[in-house]
Structures are given as structure tokens and as C-alpha cells.
């Protein structure tokens, strides 16, 4: 029985390139999702302002519209939580993809005609080490996602919207509580009770 040295399998450069492109597409999808979600939050704010303006002339409608604003704000808070989850999921996916790219890089076969004559420079691994040396990469919270420091700012916008919608909800609740009799009377007027 002969013992052959185990040969490391090589990976096609085309496969590596294809996988890298899929990694870039994840980043593009995350940025596109952020733009879409931002637009939805702005639309919700405009809708809230429109509801309040529409009902401002009629006190009976104003108190009823507060319920619509409250419901819209609660839904927006939940939407912002979903948005934050999307950002985290995309970051997990990107982390996994770049980790895999780093593992693939040393195994790339660049030339079929002359195998083992060209080796990988491992650019992703070296880039990452350089970023860590200058402390540009940090672990995000307890999520075990390593990203650039400025990447944390991406979480700020949905968190700010969530706080804004929470404050709107609190303001509506306080307006209803402090004007309870007017609120009940407006419902009676609308329902003709």
C-alpha cells in the first residue's frame, strides 16, 4: 500500500470571481433596501402630517385621526425593527462571503496550462489585516459581525426613525389621555350616538 502525499485541490479563478461578484451584489441589495426603507419611512411621516392637517379644521375628526396616526406610528416602529434586522442579516451574509473568499484565495488555480506556477496574493486577507491594524474594523455589538467603523452609522437612521415614531405614538397617547372627554365626544359625533 503506497502513501501518496495529499494534494490540495485547486479552485478555478472563474469560480472565485463569480463568488466575489455575488458578494458585491449582496452589498448592492443592502444599500438598495436601505434606500427603499428610508423612502417608506419618509412616506409614513408625510402620511401622518397629511392626516393631521386634513383633520385639523374639524375637532371631531382630529381626535379620530389621532387613532390613525397612532396605528401608523406603531406599524412604522415595527417596520424600523424589520429594517434593522435586514441590515444585520445582510451584514452576516457579507461577513460569511468574505470569510469564504479569504479561504478560497490561496487555493485558486489561475492557469490551467501551467498549474501551480501562479499563487494568490490573498488580497482580502491582507486588506482585512491592514484594516484591523489601523483599527478601522470593529466588532458590532454582540452580533459577532466585523465591519468598518462607519458601518455602525447604517444602524442610526432606522433607529432614529424608530425613536421618532415612538415619540409620535407617545404624543398621540398623551393627547388622547389629557383630552379624554373631547376624544369620546368626537367618537359620539361621528357615530351619531
pLDDT in tens, the chain (193 residues): 445 545 567 777 777 788 788 888 888 999 999 999 999 999 999 999 999 999 888 877 887 899 999 999 999 999 999 999 999 888 888 877 888 888 777 777 766 666 666 666 566 666 667 666 666 555 655 556 555 555 677 889 999 999 999 999 999 999 888 988 887 887 777 777 6
Burial zone of 176 (CB within 10 Å; 0-12 exposed, 13-18 middle, 19+ buried): middle
Q: Which residues contact 148 (CB under 8 A, 6 or more apart)?
A: 131, 136, 137, 138
168, 73 in Cβ contact below 8 A? yes
* Domain boundaries along the sequence of the chain: 23-109+152-188
Provide the pLDDT for residue 187.
77
Alpha carbon distance 178, 171 (integer Å): 10
Amino acid at each position: 500500500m503506497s502513501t501518496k502525499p495529499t494534494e490540495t485541490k485547486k479552485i478555478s479563478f472563474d469560480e472565485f470571481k463569480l463568488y466575489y461578484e455575488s458578494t458585491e451584489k449582496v452589498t448592492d441589495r443592502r444599500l438598495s433596501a436601505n434606500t427603499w426603507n428610508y423612502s417608506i419611512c419618509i412616506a409614513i411621516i408625510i402620511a401622518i402630517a397629511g392626516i393631521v392637517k386634513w383633520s385639523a379644521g374639524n375637532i371631531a375628526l382630529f381626535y379620530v385621526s389621532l387613532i390613525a396616526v397612532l396605528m401608523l406610528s406603531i406599524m412604522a416602529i415595527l417596520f424600523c425593527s424589520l429594517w434593522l434586522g435586514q441590515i444585520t442579516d445582510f451584514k452576516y451574509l457579507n461577513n460569511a462571503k468574505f470569510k469564504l473568499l479569504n479561504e478560497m484565495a490561496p487555493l485558486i488555480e489561475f492557469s490551467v496550462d501551467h498549474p501551480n506556477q501562479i499563487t494568490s496574493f490573498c488580497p482580502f486577507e491582507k486588506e482585512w489585516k491592514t484594516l484591523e491594524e489601523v483599527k478601522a474594523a470593529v466588532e458590532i455589538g454582540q452580533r459577532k459581525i466585523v465591519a468598518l467603523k462607519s458601518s455602525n452609522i447604517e444602524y442610526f437612521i432606522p433607529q432614529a426613525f424608530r425613536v421618532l415614531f415612538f415619540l409620535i405614538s407617545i404624543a398621540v397617547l398623551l393627547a388622547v389621555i389629557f383630552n379624554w372627554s373631547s376624544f369620546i365626544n368626537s367618537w359620539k359625533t361621528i357615530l351619531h350616538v
